Amino acid sequence: MTNLAWNVERVLPSAIADLHRLISIPSISSMPEHDADVAACADAVSGLFRDLGASEVKLLDGGGKPAVWANFPGPEGTPTVLLYAHYDVQPTGDTDAWTSPAFEPTERDGRLYARGSADDKGGVALHVAALRVFDGKPPVGVKVFIEGEEEVGSPSMPTLLDRYRDELAADVYVVADSVNWEVGKPSLTTSLRGVADCQVTVSTLAEGLHSGQFGGVVPDALTALCRLLATLHDDAGNVAIEGLVTGTAPDLDYPEDRLLEETGLLEGVSQIGDGSVVERMWFKPAASVLAIDATPVAKASNTLIPSARAKVSVRLVPGQDPAAAAKALEEHLRRNAPWGAHVDVVAGQCGAPGRITLEGERAEAAKTAFREAFGVDAVEIGCGGSIPIVAEFADRNPDALVLVTAVTDPNSRMHGIDESLDLGDFAKAALAETLLLNNLAG
């Protein structure tokens, strides 16, 4: 075992203990009732880097949730590496469905279960572990940027990047917020889908009417909304919104049995869309209906509903302009409303897709680090989800290398029930990041 590997083993217990403490803070950025928890988590993260001996730690204000920034200057002439993660988390969903309480970290069979264990407080703990290996004196310059509103689309990010240009400048960016190919096999993400979403309200009546008296004569808004939402896809399940870009997928096999295991697709339910699994997940747009507001079943009456609302999200492939996609989505919804129903569209989150090229000496230093830590080469993958900061870093720093790494695996159930982190892979990821910092110093 090398000295660096031994030192990673040495710091892992304290890094996991730090992760436990962060997890116990329910920093749900989408729920105002948890604003105090978000602030408390930002303070806790700040304290971790302050205790590591950062020359400066401060909260960056972009008008939204606080972002933590810390600086660890390196030897003169060495590159600067910015380590990114986020401390905010998704809501828990049905708390009764969790095997153990969502904010009480619990270890079972080599995995750590809790909301945020994988996405992305595990990423925060990863950076803490790597810096602790070097006793807070890394062989390169290191800046740490821990965001507090990634789970709500990073609305303050453009302001943060403009306002703190110098603090966020770097030669290499490490974004620890993607997913590994599988347990024991790391990935480096080279493409990410973007997102455009909206709220669409369909109205057909000035007020509710007796369904027995006027049903069959005038349309109710919920039926009209359902028919409108059905136009988002063709019969095969391909997105039917005109003007969206489709990309070219790499020749990478995603086994069907693995897909079934990871998704829990029910027996008899077919997949949607045309093309390979990789193409559909990473290089074709995807449209989803995330929520519908209407009368709950428990309160239903024989009334024709006058108005109903839904949230629609579209994932965008590299090469797609998100503003153009948002416009295409709005035009589709207005154009396809049945029976002359009135449609109101309110634009929501809009994030750019990204593509990353892993070329040059620094990229090779990263590949070598992951090969040594995991014992296998990292798989270059796409990501069906969105990480808005990746495109922002790449666009604003064209000469920098952006590395999108992970502590999660396909079984981590990010955003879902029983989210978890494989502790063995966490240890390997910590070693990989430590080796990366060391390799970049050379």
Evaluate the omega torsion of the peptide bond into residue 37 and state whether it is cis, within 30 degrees of 0.
no
Query: How many Cβ atoms from other residues are within 10 Å of residue 1's Cβ?
Result: 8
Is 145 among the domain residues? yes
Same domain flag for 47 and 185: yes
What pLDDT score was predicted for residue 207?
96
Evaluate the omega torsion of the peptide bond into residue 120 and state whether it is cis, within 30 degrees of 0.
yes
Catalytic residue among 150, 167, 177, 419: 150
Closest CA to 51 of 91, 16, 10, 14: 14
Q: What is the identity of the amino acid at 238?
A: N
154 pLDDT more than 90 = no
pLDDT in tens, 7-61: 999 999 999 999 999 999 999 999 999 999 999 999 999 999 999 999 999 999 9
Q: φ and ψ at 46, to 5 degrees?
A: -55, -45
Same domain flag for 337 and 358: no
Same domain flag for 288 and 164: no
Same domain flag for 8 and 147: yes
- Contact present, 194 and 286 (Cβ < 8 Å): no
* CATH code at position 290: 3.30.70.360
Same domain flag for 233 and 123: no
1 pLDDT more than 70 = no
Catalytic residue among 18, 88, 151, 167: 88
Is 314 among the domain residues? yes
pLDDT in tens, 303-324: 999 999 999 999 999 999 999 9
Domain end among 351, 379, 401: 351
Same domain flag for 319 and 214: yes
Is 256 among the domain residues? no
Query: How many Cβ atoms from other residues are within 10 Å of residue 54's Cβ?
Result: 21
What pLDDT score was predicted for residue 398?
87
Averaged confidence pLDDT in the chain: 95
- Angle at Cα 259 formed by Cα 258 and Cα 261, nearest 5°? 65
pLDDT in tens, 158-213: 999 999 999 999 999 999 999 999 999 999 999 889 999 999 999 999 999 999 99
Domain end among 319, 351, 383: 351
Check if 150 is active-site: yes
Is 415 among the domain residues? yes
- Interior/surface letters 227-259, b for 16+ CB within 10 angstroms, e for the rest: bbbeebbeeebbbbbeebbebebeeeebeeeee
Domain end among 351, 377, 401: 351
Query: How far is it, in rounded angstroms, from Cα 5 to Cα 366?
Result: 16
Same domain flag for 138 and 30: yes
Domain holding 225, by residue range, is 194-249+273-351
Check if 88 is active-site: yes
Closest CA to 284 of 270, 300, 273: 273
130 pLDDT more than 80 = yes
Is 7 among the domain residues? yes
pLDDT in tens, 353-408: 888 889 999 999 999 999 999 999 999 998 877 777 888 888 888 899 999 999 99
Average pLDDT of the residues in 330-335: 98
What pLDDT score was predicted for residue 77?
94
Q: Could you give the number of structural domains in the chain? A: 2
DSSP state of 99: S
Average pLDDT of the residues in 239-268: 90
Same domain flag for 320 and 360: no
What distances in angstroms separate CA 11 from CA 74, 112, 184, 423, 431, one per listed residue?
21, 17, 20, 13, 11
Query: How far is it, in rounded angstroms, from Cα 131 to Cα 75?
Result: 15
Same domain flag for 86 and 210: no
Tokens 């049905």 belong to residue: 94
Which secondary-structure segment (H or E) carries 350?
Answer: strand 342-351
Q: φ and ψ at 95, to 5 degrees?
A: -65, -30
* CATH code at position 66: 3.40.630.10
